Amino acid sequence: MKPESDLKEKTSHGDVLFPLEQYSTILSPVNPEVSMHWHPEMEFTRITQGQARYSIDFQECLAKEGDFICVQPGLLHTAKFLSPDVFASDSFVFHLNLLGSSSGDICTLRYFVPLMEGTLQLPHRISAKDPLSSDIKDAFQSLSLAYRERQQGYELEIKALLFHLLRLLATHPETTYMNEEDKGKRFRRQRLKEVFDFIHEHFAEEIRVESLAKLCHISPSRFMHLFKETNGSTFSQYLNQYRIRRSALLLRQGMGIVEAAYSCGFNHLPYFYKRFQEYYRMTPRQFQLLPEDPKPSGEFPEEVGH
């Protein structure tokens, strides 16, 4: 295992003095997914076009145009393209230190520490039809405007708007503190982080279910059930899809089809072609000939840019 999680995003968001960055995400048939990753920062996202299926802390939700997505620090998350055209969103990723989470005041004790530890659970998705949606939309748009124009005092305005958004989320009826059962479920999901780290590090090799089950200290049959229950797909489905996405990245970088297939653990070319066509709805050769799509939001954890 690597000393640092392979699923941890490597991008720096802002700088030490102002740890915040805005991103635009575009998903399409060519770039259909933001792979699973996590970061120690908070993430606020507003869907501006299309729809995608998000998985946040292994809990799935369908996000459509106008919806708001909240990802708390440390939670594994991914988004999969579902729209017939394109999916687009705007995101702010920021560290809670920007709001003074390292101080010892009541906000830190009551909100920031529980947010970072995961014991305070904010809703992952706010529907466009939610009563709070209008206020959240206005605050997010003001946040985008302040970040883009950067007029004198914009840093203060951004901090004020982030506090306002957190207050709105804290008052939402779905916001809760973890009970003991929730903590048990969270512990099992944390164990799966190690599993995905292992898969992403050894995806080109043969991976045995028994080895992954040992990481979770459970039986292989229990592991298979837990994996499907929390991830929505079987282990073999996830591994194949991850290998396909890695091979697509290599094809984009100019590698030949055969070499890309073998580099990603496919030792049988007809099987590779079949899985590639299932995932991208086109052959590897057709994929190579496609014109450059808008820059992906980040296919893999080390490249994710939201």
> What is the mean pLDDT of the segment spanning 58-81?
93
Based on the fold, state whether residues 249 and 289 are members of the same structural domain. yes
pLDDT at 5 over 70: no
pLDDT at 306: 52
Question: pLDDT value at position 1?
Answer: 34
Residue 232 has pLDDT above 80, yes or no: no
Residue 222 lies in a domain: yes
Residue ranges with strand state E in 28-158: 33-37, 42-49, 51-56, 59-64, 68-71, 77-81, 87-94, 120-121, 125-126
DSSP conformation class of 297: S
* Domains in the chain, number: 3
3 found inside a domain: no
Give a yes or no: residue 1 inside a domain.
no
| Domain-located, residue 114 | yes
Predicted local distance difference test score (pLDDT) of residue 4: 45
Q: Any idea what the CATH number is for the domain that residue 114 is in?
A: 2.60.120.280
Residue-averaged pLDDT of the chain: 87
| CATH number of the domain where residue 288 is located | 1.10.10
93 three-state secondary structure = strand
199 residue type, one letter: I
Domain shared by 152 and 51, yes or no: yes
Q: pLDDT tens digit string along 198-231?
A: 898 899 999 999 999 888 888 999 889 888 877 7
Strands of the chain (E only): list them.
20-27, 33-37, 42-49, 51-56, 59-64, 68-71, 77-81, 87-94, 120-121, 125-126, 176-177
DSSP 3-state helix, strand, coil percentages of the chain (rounded to 5)?
45, 20, 35
Q: Domain residues for 93?
A: 20-177
Where do we find the tokens 């079987």? Answer: 234
Q: Name the pLDDT band for 247 (thresholds 50, 70, 90).
A: very high
Tokens of 74: 């440390």
